[in-house]
Structures are given as structure tokens and as C-alpha cells.
């Protein structure tokens, strides 16, 4: 699929509707600044508040704008296996290059349930499928042994790991083949996961500084570890501010300051508190982002 920085891109809204014009400009911004993949309709893309028709418009826009320059990976996960299959088939029909499948949330499930859930979705499509482990949001963790079992399914090709548990990630690396990809799901863990044998990041940070995020990845991949560390450390405070409120609240605030989008979210998400907004803008100024 890709190595390096894939952006978990936001979905802009305007007047309650998806702003496809702004979305297209965001994709141009990513393509012009070395992002290696577009990850659309994930957590950062507020997929849970978009209906089937809105998803179709967003996917069509992403596929057309990317124009095969980089892979377009669509978040099609759900806590309803049949709904996930429906979204996955939609993504495949509309020309996506892969799908990202979050663990079932709220109803949760056992490890046995995870294996059956993911296997059934993967077998419904010819697209490459990426597991997405984010227990802080979903309340369920994909155990390393479960990842190893799912890696036997032909088109399950990797995992986005946002547990922050390096011991677990090392164990996954030990159990899977060299071809199975591991991407960081946390921007402050890019280099730690690379050092565990990972392949890059599916990044929130890249929404705002795509060139620098990919530069960090490229530096590590080419052996310039000192430069990779410099960039990871330089953006550490900014990364923390991007998560000081629930993602993507701060990211949308930052992009609105940059003039790319209206600062609009869908309930239950609300705009950033003024005190946090001021801290975010101050750090953006310090980093010369604005």
C-alpha cells in the first residue's frame, strides 16, 4: 500500500453539508507536499456522522483528485459487520485502493468475534484491508495473537496501531510475516513504531504539516535517524495540542486558521475552547505554520 506518511484527512463541512470544494483543495495540499496516501472517512474524517450518499460524494472526490498518484484508503469499519461490508463494497465500487477497518465499538466483542468480523469483511472484497486498533476509542484491543491469525487472510495486509503499547507492537512484529505492514496511529509514536519494524504513520499531524510529517518518515527510512528525531521532538508540543480536545476538533481549528476550511464540526463534536485555541495558534506561529 504505502510506506511513510498517509494522512487521516478531515472532512470539511459548510452550512451543515460536506464542502467538497474545500475537500478537493485539502487533497491538493496533501499531494503537493509528499503525502504517500489519503486515508478518508476515518475517525478524523468524522465518518460516523456521514450518511451513505455523503460518503459516496467524499469517496468519488478523493479518488478523482488522487488520480492514482497515491492510494486512497477508505474507512469502512463499523460495529455492525453487515454495515461494514456494505461500506466496503461501496468503496470498492467507487475505485478505492484499500479499506481501513476499526474494531467494533460500543457492543465490542471477544477476540473470537474480532476474527470472525474481520474475516467476513475481508472476504467480501478484493481490496486490501487494514486493521485499525484504537482501544482508547473503541474499548476493545486486538491482541497480537489475533492479529497473527487475521494476517493469514490473503487481503488483510496490515494494521494501524494506536494502542501506544510498544510491547504489544513488538509482539505483533514477532508473530507476523515481513510483508505485513504496521503503521503508527499516534503521531507521537511515529519513530518508536518505526524502531519496532513499522512502516510509517496514518497521521492527524499531516493534515496541517504534510511535508514535515513525510520528511520525518523519509529521514528514518533513509538512515538519518538524528533528523527524524529532531522532527519528532520539534512537533511534540503541537501534536499534543492537536489532541488536547477530541480529534478532529483541534485539527479543524488549525486548518481554519490556515484558511483552508470553515471551522465546522457535526454534533456531538463542538468547536475548540478559546483557551485551547489560543495555545494552538501560538504554537502554530512559533513553528511558522501561520
CATH number of the domain at 175, please.
Answer: 3.20.20.70
The mean of the pLDDT values for the chain is 98
Count how many domains the chain has: 1
Predicted confidence at residue 245, as pLDDT, reads 98
Which pLDDT does position 200 carry in this prediction? 98
Which pLDDT value is given to residue 195?
96
Sign of the CA dihedral with 73 first, then 78, 80, and 86 last: negative
**Whole-number Å distance between alpha carbons of 283 and 290:** 9
Residues catalogued as catalytic: 132, 160
- What pLDDT score was predicted for residue 288? 97
3-state secondary structure of 103: coil
Model pLDDT, residue 264: 98
Residue 255, in any domain of the structure? no
Q: Is residue 158 part of a domain?
A: yes
Going by the annotation, the residues of the binding site for pyruvate are 44, 202
Distance CA 170, CA 168 (A): 5
Which pLDDT belongs to residue 214? Answer: 98
Q: Which residues are annotated as a binding site?
A: 44, 202
Domain membership of residue 249 (yes or no) is no
How many distinct helices (H) and strands (E) make up the chain?
13, 10
Instruction: Check: pTM over 0.95? Answer yes or no.
Output: yes
Contact 257, 284 (CB under 8 A): yes
Question: For the chain, which residues score pLDDT lower than 70?
Answer: none
Note the pLDDT of residue 191.
Answer: 97
CB atoms within 10 A of CB 195: 15
Could you tell me if residue 122 is inside a domain? yes
The answer as to whether 209 is a domain residue is: yes
Residue 186, domain member (yes or no): yes
pLDDT in tens, 159-209: 999 999 999 999 999 999 999 999 999 999 999 999 999 999 999 999 999
Residue 43: C-alpha distances to residues 49, 102, 123, 174, 192 (Å)? 10, 9, 24, 28, 22
Say what the pLDDT of residue 60 is. 98
Domain holding 89, by residue range, is 4-220
* Predicted pLDDT of residue 102: 98
Amino acid at each position: 500500500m504505502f510506506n511513510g506518511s498517509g494522512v487521516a484527512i478531515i472532512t470539511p463541512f459548510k452550512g451543515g453539508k460536506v464542502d467538497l470544494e474545500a475537500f478537493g483543495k485539502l487533497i491538493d495540499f496533501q499531494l503537493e507536499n509528499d503525502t504517500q496516501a489519503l486515508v478518508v472517512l476515518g475517525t478524523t474524517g468524522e465518518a460516523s456522522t456521514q450518511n451513505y450518499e455523503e460518503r459516496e460524494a467524499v469517496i468519488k472526490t478523493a479518488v478523482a483528485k488522487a488520480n492514482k498518484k497515491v492510494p486512497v484508503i477508505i474507512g469502512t469499519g463499523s460495529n455492525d459487520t453487515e454495515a461494514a461490508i456494505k461500506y466496503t463494497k461501496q468503496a470498492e465500487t467507487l475505485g478505492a485502493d484499500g479499506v481501513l477497518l476499526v474494531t467494533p465499538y460500543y457492543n465490542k466483542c471477544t477476540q473470537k468475534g474480532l476474527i470472525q468480523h474481520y474475516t467476513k469483511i475481508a472476504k467480501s472484497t478484493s481490496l486490501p484491508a487494514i486493521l485499525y486498533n484504537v482501544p482508547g476509542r473503541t474499548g476493545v484491543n486486538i491482541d497480537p495473537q489475533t492479529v497473527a491469525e487475521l494476517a493469514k487472510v490473503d487481503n488483510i495486509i496490515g494494521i494501524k496501531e494506536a494502542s501506544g503499547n510498544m510491547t504489544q507492537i513488538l509482539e505483533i512484529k514477532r508473530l507476523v510475516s515481513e510483508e505485513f505492514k504496521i503503521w503508527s496511529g499516534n503521531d507521537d509514536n511515529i519513530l518508536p513504531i518505526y524502531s519496532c519494524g513499522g512502516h510509517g504513520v496514518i497521521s492527524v499531524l499531516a493534515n496541517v504539516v504534510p511535508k514535515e510529517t513525510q520528511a520525518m518518515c523519509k529521514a528514518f527510512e533513509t538512515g538519518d535517524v538524528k533528523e527524524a528525531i529532531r522532527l519528532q521532538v520539534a512537533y511534540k508540543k503541537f501534536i499534543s495540542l492537536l489532541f488536547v480536545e477530541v480529534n478532529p476538533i483541534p485539527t479543524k481549528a488549525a486548518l481554519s486558521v490556515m484558511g483552508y476550511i470553515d471551522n465546522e464540526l457535526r454534533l456531538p463534536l463542538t468547536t475548540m475552547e478559546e483557551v485551547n485555541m489560543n495555545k494552538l495558534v501560538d504554537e502554530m506561529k512559533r513553528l511558522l505554520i501561520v
